[in-house]
Amino acid sequence: MDEKDDEQLGAFDPNIPEEGPSAPPPGWLDCVTGYEEPKGGDTGDQLYPPPPAYNPQPENDRNASVPNVRVPQVSESVAREALLNFVGSKWSKSSKPARNLTFKELQPITMYRYRLETYTESRSSAWEMEPFTGQVVDGPQYGMSPPPWDVPVQQPQRYIDVILKVRVPHSSFVKTCHRCHGCGRTRCTHCAGRGNRRCPFCHGHGRRTTGHGRNNRVGNNRCSSCQGRGRKRCTFCHGHGHKTCPTCQGNRNLMHFIQLTITWKNHVFEFVPDRLPEFPLKKFEKVSGDAFFVDESILVYPIVGFPDQEICDASRKASQEHHSKFSPQQVPCRILQQRQTIELVPITHAFYSYSGKDYDYFVYGLENKVFTPKYPSACVIL
């Protein structure tokens, strides 16, 4: 673009600065004790390991004992009703076999589900900012900011994932906006602050071109897009040559503060012995069972003496795994509570005959869900 073209585009206000970076530059923010910026220039959230007082330790030689339970029985009427409900939800299956089948055997199966839940809390912080419009500034003049793990918060209900964001007390301060340097406006980057842009249809000539390819030449017909002016008003800044600063929203100053993020998370270990090759274990994930054993403490201890040794082994494995995985040496979090349960998930293998052929299906869960490898019906066209 030559000097003559520059004159055609017009002048701009040199007092309006170019738009700066959206994030404050290094060293721009104050240093708050206990919330020092991480080394290496990492601008992400800073995680804080809990103090030693927040970390429980397991006791020695303490185990949990479990009572014996009785396997529930499913009657023929319940098994039939469950199958009727199942085929009723499948448009391609007829209910006639379910109504007229003959049961040969209902075989109850003992199936346990072990679950260990470990509820943890972690804390991280990051600098945040908002336009300063005269709001109260809770700064260091009111005292020192408490350490991350001493900021008081309301504990949520246990075993539910929750994320809470709170402002660290006494961490706020006001500074000139780094993006517009306190001007409240920034130069429009689309028109370089001139308020207008070269017309893209006539390329600034004000007249339309005629011909095709190499024979293109400027004609005498006025460009209808720019009305012959050769330039058009910038649609990004509406012809002003500047925009309101998107960071301070024209207020010229920003209030910076430290935002603490508290994350409560429930980590679940679940185990069901795989003893039924013909029954998919994933089916158990969507049904409930009878929780006849519940053990809850800051740290639970492995189950011993339960008749199903696989459950005992799973409990020992889960306890060791969670205690190691969620120790402050591995993850900067603390264990608030643990809960282990054993559920008896009812499951009955139903054998029946229909039209001289043998079939079978499973009734499982307290909801009496049905899984059937094969059902004696084809697609029914109504």
Query: Tens digits of per-residue pLDDT, 13-63?
Result: 778 888 888 888 887 888 888 887 755 445 567 888 888 877 777 665 555
pLDDT tens digit sequence for 148-178: 999 999 999 999 999 999 999 999 999 999 9
Taking residues 290-313, what's their average pLDDT? 91
132-156 pLDDT per residue, tens = 999 999 999 999 999 999 999 999 9
* Euclidean distance between CA atoms 35 and 147, whole angstroms: 8
The answer for residues whose C-beta is within 8 angstroms of residue 223's C-beta and 6 or more apart is 199, 201, 202, 205, 206, 207, 208, 230
Q: Are 127 and 32 in contact (CB under 8 A)?
A: no
Three-point CA angle 56, 59, 62, nearest 5°: 135
Distance (Å, whole) CA 337 – CA 156: 12
- Of residues 206 and 214, which shows the higher confidence score? 206
Q: Binning pLDDT at 50, 70 and 90, where does residue 2 land?
A: very low
State mean pLDDT over 325-346.
Answer: 90
Q: How high is the pLDDT of residue 16?
A: 83
pLDDT for 353 equals: 94
Instruction: Convert the pLDDT of each residue in 243-301 to its tens digit.
Output: 999 999 999 999 999 999 999 999 999 999 998 999 999 999 999 999 999 999 999 98
User: Would you kindly state where each structural domain of the chain is located, as residue ranges?
Assistant: 76-117+264-374
Three-state SS sequence of the chain: CCHHHHHHHCCCCCCCCCCCCCCCCCCCCCCCCCCCCCCCCCCCCEEECCCHHHCCCCCCCCCECCCCCCCCCCCHHHHHHHHHHHHHCCCCCCCHHHHHCEEEEEEEECCEEEEEEEEEEEEEEEEEEEECCCCCCCCHHHCCCCCHHHCCCCCCCCCCCEEEEEECCCCCEEEECCCCCCCCEEECCCCCCCCEEECCCCCCCCEEEECCHHHCEEEEEECCCCCCCCEEECCCCCCCCEEECCCCCCCCEEEEEEEEEEEEEEEEEEECCCCCCCCCHHHHHHCCCEEEEEEEECCCCCECCCCCHHHHHHHHHHHHHHHHHCCCCCCCEEEEEEEEEEEECCEEEEEEEECCEEEEEEEECCCCEEECCCCCCCCCCC
- Is the pTM higher than 0.85? The answer reads no
Tokens (6 digits) for 145 = 């900011």
CB-CB contact of 145 with 34 (8 Å): yes
The mean pLDDT of 102-122, rounded to a whole number, is 95
pLDDT digits (tens, 9 = 90+) for 193-205: 888 888 888 887 8
In the chain, the N- to C-terminal Cα span, in Å, equals 76
As a whole number of angstroms, the distance between CA 108 and CA 38 comes to 59
Q: CA-to-CA distance for 66 and 295, rounded, in angstroms?
A: 9
Return mean pLDDT, the chain.
86
Q: Does residue 66 carry a pLDDT above 70?
A: no
